[in-house]
Chains A and B, each alone.
Chain A
Amino acid sequence: MEKLQPKYSPAMAGLALVLVLALLAAGCTQPSGDGHARTLKITGSTTVLPVAQAAADAFMKDHANANIQVNGGGSSVGVQAIGEGTADIGMSSRDLKPEEHTKYPDLVVTTIANDGIAIIVHPGNTVPALTIAQIREIYRGNTTNWKEVGGPDMPIVVVGRDSASGTREFFFESVMKKEDFTPTQLEKNSNGAVKQTIALTPGAIGYVGLGYIDADIRTVPVIVNGAPVEPTIANIVAKTYPVSRPLIMITRGAPEGLAQTYLDYLLSPAGQAIVAEEGFVPITA
Chain B
Amino acid sequence: MKRPHGGSGGDPAPDPTLPCPPHSPSPGGHGMPARRRREQLIRAAWFTCAIFAVVTIFFILAFLVVDAYPVFHAEGVWSFLSGPIWNPTGAIPTYGIWPLIVGTLLVTLGAMAIAIPLGIGSAIFIAELAPARVKAVIKPAIELLAGIPSVVFGFFGLIVLTTWIRVNFAVPTGETWLAGSILLAVMALPTIISVSEDAIASAPREYKEGSLALGATRWQTISRVVTPAALSGITAAIILGIGRAVGETMAVLMVTGNAAIIPDPIWNVLTPVRTLTGTLGIEMGEVAIGSLHYHALFGVAAVLLVITLIVNLAATLILARIKERTMPGTRCRVPAAPRQRLPGWLADRVHPYKRTMGAAAGTILLFLIFGPAGILAAIALICALHVLPGRLSPKVTQVIAFSLVVLSVLAVLFALGVILFDIISNGLPFITWEFLTQPPSNLGRTGGIFPAIVGTLYLVTGAIAMALPIGIGAAVYLTEYTREGRVTRIIRTGTDLLNGTPSIVFGLFGFAFLVIFLGFGISLIAGQVTLALMVLPTIIRTTEEALRTVPVAIREGSLALGASRWQTIRNVVLPPSVPGIVTGTILSICRAAGETAPILFTAVVFSSRFLPHSVFEPVMALPYHLFILATNVPGADGQKYATALVLLGLVVIFYGIAIGIRNHYTRARHW
CB within 8 Å of B: which residues of A? 1, 4-7, 9-11, 14-15, 18-19, 22, 25-26, 29-32, 37, 41, 43, 45-46, 49-50, 53-54, 56-57, 60, 67-77, 79-81, 84, 86, 97, 99-100, 103, 154-157, 162-166, 168-169, 172, 178-181, 183-193, 195-197, 200-201, 203-204, 211-212, 214
**Do B259 and A54 have beta carbons less than 8 Å apart?**
no
B162, B282, B284, B657: the one contacting A188 at CB < 8 Å is B282
Q: Which of B294, B461, B604 has the most CB of A within 10 A?
A: B461
Min Cβ gap A214→B in Å is: 6
**Do A76 and B285 have beta carbons less than 8 Å apart?**
yes
Note all chain B residues with C-beta closer than 8 A to A185: 259
B254 located at the interface, meaning its Cβ lies under 8 Å from any Cβ of chain A in the complex: yes
**Do A183 and B571 have beta carbons less than 8 Å apart?**
no
Note all chain B residues with C-beta closer than 8 A to A71: 522, 604-607, 618
CA A190 to CA B628, docked complex, whole Å: 9
B337 located at the interface, meaning its Cβ lies under 8 Å from any Cβ of chain A in the complex: no
Q: A72-B285, A99-B291, A165-B286 known; A19 and B521 CB under 8 Å? A: no
Min Cβ gap A177→B in Å is: 9
**Do B457 and A22 have beta carbons less than 8 Å apart?**
yes
CA A49 to CA B606, docked complex, whole Å: 9
Min Cβ gap A155→B in Å is: 5
Note all chain A residues with C-beta closer than 8 A to B610: 29, 31-32, 37, 67
CA A157 to CA B442, docked complex, whole Å: 34
Note all chain B residues with C-beta closer than 8 A to A30: 613
**Do A75 and B634 have beta carbons less than 8 Å apart?**
no
**Do A184 and B259 have beta carbons less than 8 Å apart?**
yes
6 closest Cβ pairs, A-B complex: A74-B285, A74-B286, A189-B282, A162-B282, A29-B611, A190-B631
**Using a Cβ cutoff of 8 Å, how many contacts connect chains A and B?**
234
B646 located at the interface, meaning its Cβ lies under 8 Å from any Cβ of chain A in the complex: no
B612-659 at interface with A (beta carbon < 8 Å): 612-613, 618, 628, 630-635, 657
**Do B618 and A190 have beta carbons less than 8 Å apart?**
no
B2 located at the interface, meaning its Cβ lies under 8 Å from any Cβ of chain A in the complex: no
Which residue of chain A lies nearest to B154 when distances are taken between CB atoms in the complex?
A: A193
Note all chain B residues with C-beta closer than 8 A to A156: 172
CA A85 to CA B162, docked complex, whole Å: 42
Note all chain A residues with C-beta closer than 8 A to B461: 18-19, 22
Q: A72-B606, A164-B282, A183-B259 known; A15 and B173 CB under 8 Å? A: no
Min Cβ gap A37→B in Å is: 7
Q: Which of B288, B454, B664 has the most CB of A within 10 A?
A: B288
Which residue of chain B lies nearest to A211 when distances are taken between CB atoms in the complex?
A: B634
Q: Which of B258, B442, B611 has the most CB of A within 10 A?
A: B258
**Do B562 and A195 have beta carbons less than 8 Å apart?**
no
**Do A14 and B608 have beta carbons less than 8 Å apart?**
no
Q: Which of B172, B253, B582, B601 has the most CB of A within 10 A?
A: B172
Mask of B137-160 contacts with A, CB within 8 angstroms, 1/0: 000000000000000000000110
B85, B283, B443, B604: the one contacting A183 at CB < 8 Å is B85
Q: A32-B610, A164-B89 known; A15 and B285 CB under 8 Å? A: no
**Do A29 and B631 have beta carbons less than 8 Å apart?**
no
Note all chain B residues with C-beta closer than 8 A to A41: 605, 618
Given A26-B611, A201-B174, 19 more A-B residue pairs with CB atoms under 8 Å apart are A7-B575, A11-B661, A22-B461, A45-B286, A50-B443, A67-B610, A70-B607, A75-B286, A76-B289, A97-B288, A100-B290, A164-B287, A187-B259, A187-B260, A187-B274, A191-B631, A191-B632, A193-B631, A200-B166
**Do B442 and A57 have beta carbons less than 8 Å apart?**
yes
B281 located at the interface, meaning its Cβ lies under 8 Å from any Cβ of chain A in the complex: yes
B591 located at the interface, meaning its Cβ lies under 8 Å from any Cβ of chain A in the complex: no
A57, A100, A166, A183: the one contacting B260 at CB < 8 Å is A183
**Do B575 and A9 have beta carbons less than 8 Å apart?**
yes
**Do B441 and A57 have beta carbons less than 8 Å apart?**
yes
**Do B173 and A203 have beta carbons less than 8 Å apart?**
yes
**Do B272 and A186 have beta carbons less than 8 Å apart?**
yes
B570 located at the interface, meaning its Cβ lies under 8 Å from any Cβ of chain A in the complex: yes
CA A56 to CA B288, docked complex, whole Å: 26
B563 located at the interface, meaning its Cβ lies under 8 Å from any Cβ of chain A in the complex: yes
**Do B286 and A69 have beta carbons less than 8 Å apart?**
no
B90 located at the interface, meaning its Cβ lies under 8 Å from any Cβ of chain A in the complex: yes
B261 located at the interface, meaning its Cβ lies under 8 Å from any Cβ of chain A in the complex: yes
24 A-B contacts (beta carbon < 8 Å): A1-B563, A1-B567, A6-B570, A9-B575, A11-B581, A22-B458, A25-B458, A25-B611, A26-B612, A43-B605, A45-B286, A49-B443, A53-B443, A70-B606, A74-B284, A86-B522, A157-B173, A162-B283, A163-B88, A163-B293, A180-B87, A189-B253, A200-B166, A203-B173
CA A30 to CA B89, docked complex, whole Å: 46
CA A18 to CA B257, docked complex, whole Å: 41
Q: A31-B613, A99-B290, A99-B291 known; A212 and B285 CB under 8 Å? A: no
Which residue of chain B lies nearest to A168 when distances are taken between CB atoms in the complex?
A: B89
Note all chain A residues with C-beta closer than 8 A to B41: none
**Do A60 and B631 have beta carbons less than 8 Å apart?**
no
**Do A69 and B259 have beta carbons less than 8 Å apart?**
no
